[in-house]
Structures are given as structure tokens and as C-alpha cells.
Amino acid sequence: MPRRSVLTERQRSALFDLPTDQATILRHYTLADDDIEHIRTRGHSRNRMGFALQLCAFRYPGRLLSPGETIPLEVSQFIAAQLAEKPAALACYAETDVTRRRHLADLRELYGYKMFSGRGARDLKAWLEARAEAAPSNTELAQQFVVECRRTQTILPGLSVIERLCADALVAAERKTESRIVSQLSDDTQEQLDALLTEMVDGKVSRFIWLRQFEVGSNSADASRLLDRLKHLQGLKVPPSLLDGIPPDQITRLRRQGERYFADGLRDIGSDRRLAILTVCAIEWHAAIADALVETHDRIVGKTWRDAKKICDARVADAKSALHDTLRSFKTLGVALLEAKGDGASLDTATETACGWHQLEGLVATAAKLTDTMAADPLSHVVHGFHRFRRYAPRMLRALEIQAAPVAEPLLAAAAIVAKGRSAEFATTHFLRRGSKWHRHINACDKDRYRLWEVAVLFHLRDASALVMFGWPIPVVTPI
């Protein structure tokens, strides 16, 4: 049975209570001249006040007043001021039920209000069923129903009736959506989806629970685990087009049910609903795992860059002592040469006295090495992270379909080479800006040139800022 209560106490009050704020009262309870003429035909002061109050309640919130209901002071004072009556007159209104029924009949005849019954009720039920499929929530559906009743001048039924109607409409919409999804599944696909609930992984958890236990990782092992799940979902061959035309809120609702159920609980529910939940979860988790994989790759690239920068910084720090000694030796040599030149002495003798020609050759070699060290860039060391990428990158590029504008075709072609794992084939560097650091390092590299080229491809597929800098559009990564 559907859950009948769809509104909280606060939501019920917002829909059915008489207003107390000045803006709402002014908008809905201001009486027109013809309203006042109809009200004046009532004999006693209490009947005029009661008739006016019931008319206002029909307009907003759109319901009948209950016998003995407490009327907010703001409402009674506002109505009384328009009629030049006293608010206390309401206390004696409708001492008999005959007066209330007569006023109700007069209001229906004068203003066209109708009860929730007959053809009008059937039309509203059909309207509710049509809206239920796209309703974002139970509360929103109830609010839309109340607004539609006000628009059609239908007096609202009881609160329990509205909640029951909304709950029935929501259940019917869910059943319709489930049947629509399952009708597109082949028998083989249905068997594969049901197998997710019975097949065990490592004898510990069901395949269904294993699939939904994923999160963004930070290393190649995490990426491989995500790829294992992505591969299994791709093997189900459940196309995302199965959900075309289904409202996003219905998809979200089914996915949340799948994330809340365990395998045993899913096996116990009806076949259409179970298969619909499994289908939605397979499609939604496929996209979510692909996103998690891309973010994991992003983290690995970031870690590789940070590690390369640490290596570069460490080498610079280690070279500071040698740099200081070398500069001091060159200073001593320079002072000696300048003094010899000023005295007209032999420069050869000054050089021999200061450090000697053999030591000078060593100083020059050390200075050249230190110059290369101090000018080093982290790009020189990113190739050390090649082993991380090699463990998962080819699989990742085969599993994901990376799309971009035609201008980025050289980058996508390079990614295709990485996906094939053909290290002997070396593509051009057209995807790099000529003269950029990546371009210079790759062309200057000999032994590890292909490795550095492959790392550059993976960096550029990830690094949005670099893509913008090089003028390439940012690729859009979507699961196959």
C-alpha cells in the first residue's frame, strides 16, 4: 500500500491555515463592490461577517471553514473594517448548521464554486496523475494540486483525501515509469541485472553492493579498481538512452532506492520495480564511476607534478653548498687576476697562485653542472611518474570516450596511441604549443622521449588550465 501521509505538520499548515501576514490578507481578502453588495443582503451582523469570511476562505486557502474553528484576529479585523462591523459578531455565527449550508449554497451559485465530486473530481484526479510523473517531491505535488483546485474554483477536499490522492498518483507514476524502463530490456539484459544480486565478489559481498562501493581515489590501484567496476557495467550493455524522456526526479528516486537497499531487500520486491532500480543504478553508477575515474586521474597527475617539483627543489637545495664554494673560489680567482692586471704581473702566475689551472678546469665543470641544476624545471622529472600512469592509463583511455572540438584532434590522436599501448609508434607534438616547456623538453629528450611524450599527453588531457593556455578547447569526457 502507498504511504498516505505525504505532508508534514508544517506543510499542512502552510497549505490550509488562514493567513495572518498583512500582504497575503490584502491580496486575497480585499472585498470588491459586488462582494459587499452580496454580503449586505444577509440579515444579521453575524451572518454578514460569517458569509464574508467563508467567501474569503473559498478564495484562499480554498476550503470550507470547520465548525468551531478559531479565526485569526488579523483576518476578522480586516474583514470587519471593510464591512463596518465588529469582529466580535463572528462569535455567534452559524449557531445552527442550516445557516452554514444555506450560505454554502449561495456562494456556489453566486461565484461558481463547486465541491470535489463528480466529473470535476475525475478531471482533477486525471490532472494529478499526469503531473505526478514529473513532480520533484510529494510536497510539490500536493502544492500543485491545491493551486489547481483554487484555479478551477473547486473547494478543497479533506486533508487526508488530498494526501491519499497524491500518494496514489505518485505510486501509479512510479509503476508507469518502471514498466516503461523494463519494457525496453531484453531477456538477456534482465538476467544479467538480476545476476548482480546473486553473484558474489571474493565470497564477501554481492556484485550489486560491490558496484556501488566506489569513491574517488589517489593512486593507480584506486584507478584500477574503478576501471574494474566500469568494465563490468559496460559488459551489461545497458544504454543510457533507456532513460530518455523519463523525468530526472523519477530517475533520482529510483537511484536512491537502489543505494538504500541491500541485495536481499531488492530480491524481495516486484520484478518490474527491481529491474527498473537495477537499470537506473547501472546507468547512473556508470556515469558516476567515470567521473570518479577522471578525478582520480586528476589527483595522480597532481601528485606526479608535486613529486617532480620536490625532486627539483631538493636538488637545488643540495647544490646550494657547492654553489657557495664555487662562487667563493671564482671570487678569489677574480680578485687575484684583477690585482695582477693592475700591477702588470703575469696572469698565468696569478692563476697558478690563486687556484691552479687544473682546479680551474674543475671549477668550470662544476659551475656548468650547477647552472643546469639551478635552471632545472619540474618537467625534467615528471617522467619518473610514468610507472603510475602505465598501470591504468591505457585501460582508462579505452574505457572512456573523450570528445572535443576538431582543433583538439591532435591531442585525441595522441591519446589513442597511448590507449593502444604502442610505445614504438611516436606521434608528432602538434598538440603542444611550439616553443613551450613541454615541447622543448620532449625534443631535447633522448632515452625517455616516448615516456615523457606519453606523460605530456596525460597531463594535457587533465590540465584544463594548460589547455586554455595552449588555445585548445577543454575535452569533454563521457562514458562509452
Phi, psi of 422 (to 5 degrees): -95, 85
pLDDT at 289: 93
Contact 81, 30 (CB under 8 A): no
pLDDT at 5: 64
Element (H, E) at 400: strand 400-403
19: number of CA atoms within 13 Å, CB side?
A: 19
Condensed to tens digits (0 to 9), the pLDDT of residues 315-359 reads 767 667 777 777 777 787 788 788 777 777 777 777 777 777 777
Contact 433, 439 (CB under 8 A): yes
Amino acid present at 247: P
pLDDT at 417: 86
Contacts of 404 (CB under 8 A, 6+ apart): 411, 412, 472, 473, 474, 475, 476
The percent of the chain in helix, strand and coil, each rounded to the nearest 5, is 70, 5, 25
pLDDT at 479: 43
pLDDT at 372: 62
Query: Could you tell me the pTM of the whole model?
Result: 0.73
d(CA 396, CA 237): 18
* Among 94, 150, 93, CA closest to 124: 150
d(CA 20, CA 149): 22
d(CA 417, CA 425): 8
d(CA 339, CA 379): 44
pLDDT at 441: 80
For the chain, residues with pLDDT lower than 70 are: 1-6, 94-96, 316, 318-319, 370-376, 422-427, 463-480
Q: Where exactly are the structural domains of the chain?
A: 31-111, 187-299, 302-376, 382-479
Contact 275, 185 (CB under 8 A): yes
Joined together, the cell numbers standing for residue 159 give 486533508
